[in-house]
Structure 1
Amino acid sequence: MPLNELDEAIVHVLAEDARRSYADIGAEVGLSAPAVKRRVDRLREEGAITGFTVRVDPAALGWETEGYIEMYCRSKTAPEDIRRALARYPEVASASTVTGEADAVVQIFASDMRHFEQVLERIAGEAFVERTKSVLVLSPLLRRYTAGAPR
């Protein structure tokens, strides 16, 4: 379901701050508040907007260490098996299958280095994992939370 220009503009505004009022959004995109609400309701019904959430700094929750784990899996490991296993770890922020040598890349948040090491060991111990390779984040340089292509 491709979005038209107005729908895309509304989605961009909501991605920046989902708490903005329909009137605020309408003033920015050139629509009335009721027209924005109708469009947002339609986008939700069609599945283009899947929900609204809050972004929290992981450090505020005690997750001070961030890292990425490359997973190299045994042959014939289905992506769904990887997803199902990783879903059990609250420390996993995101996981994706990727091109290249690794089968998946996993973003981890942990309370400290020891905790990261424990999570890494548990993931490496999954039956389908052949080996892992990890890197730790020193300083996040750029994080974008907007939706779609930049305007």
Structure 2
Amino acid sequence: MPARRTPSNQVPPGGTGIPLDETDRKVLELLARDGRASYAEIGLLVNLSATAVKRRVDRLQERGVVRGFTVLLDPGTLEWRTEAFVEVYCRERTSPEEILSTLRQFPEVVAAWTVTGEADALVHLRAADTGHLEAVIERIRKEPGVQRSRSQVVLSRLIG
């Protein structure tokens, strides 16, 4: 059965409540692929001027569709071969947005999720060695919204 297509000016079921047109979607796709692409480069691909692309991106940021730009580091090229999963326990009423803001400061954070259970978040870290890992965990634990953490160091990767 083919996927049902939502008209571009309507919000898809389960969507954010923010309607996006096809050009918005294409601009977002291109930014997701290369966050350093210039507005002029994106404009060539979506048939808009650089100024028009900038206005769209600014509007998407104001609406909260684009929450920021980041650099993704390749832990392998940095020789960060020590991995850990850290359960982060936060103080009461710490929002997921606050947790995200806290964790974005750390380039060693590979991924993070809010989770059910006792912990508030599960964080995947990579570091050069156990000393580096310990320092990162201590820095995370010193953040205002963080109450405590519990860590498991990866010994070997079985799948992936």
User: Does the TM-score normalized on the shorter chain lie above 0.5?
Assistant: yes
Structure 2's unaligned 5+ residue stretches are 1-17
Counterparts of residues 37-116 of structure 1 (less than 5 Å)? 37-71=54-88, 77-78=91-92, 80=94, 83=99, 90=106, 93=109, 94-100=111-117, 102-113=119-130, 115-116=132-133
Change (3 A) 1:19 1:77: closer
% identical aligned pairs: 42
Query: Which structure is higher in helix share?
Result: 1
Query: 1:6 Cα shift?
Result: 1.7
Query: 1:5 Cα shift?
Result: 2.5
User: Larger RCO: Structure 1 or Structure 2 (Cα < 8 Å, ≥ 6 residues apart)?
Assistant: 1
In structure 2, how many angstroms separate the alpha carbons of the residues matched to 1:61 and 1:11?
A: 28
Range with bigger deviation, 96-105 or 110-119: 110-119
In structure 2, how many angstroms separate the alpha carbons of the residues matched to 1:13 and 1:119?
A: 32
Matched residue of 2:52: which SS?
helix
Query: 1:25 Cα shift?
Result: 1.9
Change (3 A) 1:20 1:117: closer
Change (3 A) 1:9 1:135: farther
- Count of equivalent residues: 134
In structure 2, how many angstroms separate the alpha carbons of the residues matched to 1:14 and 1:91?
A: 20
Matched residue of 1:37: which SS?
helix
Of the three residues 121, 134, 138, the one matched with 2:157 is 138
Query: 1:38 Cα shift?
Result: 2.4
The aligned counterpart of 1:11 is 28
Contact preservation (8 Å) 2:108, 2:136: no
Of the three residues 48, 54, 57, the one matched with 1:32 is 48
Matched residue of 1:14: which SS?
helix
Change (3 A) 1:21 1:36: same
TM-score by length of 1: 0.58
Structure 1's unaligned 5+ residue stretches are 142-151
Contact preservation (8 Å) 1:63, 1:111: yes
Query: 1:42 Cα shift?
Result: 2.0
TM-score by length of 2: 0.56
Counterpart amino acid of residue 38 in structure 1: R
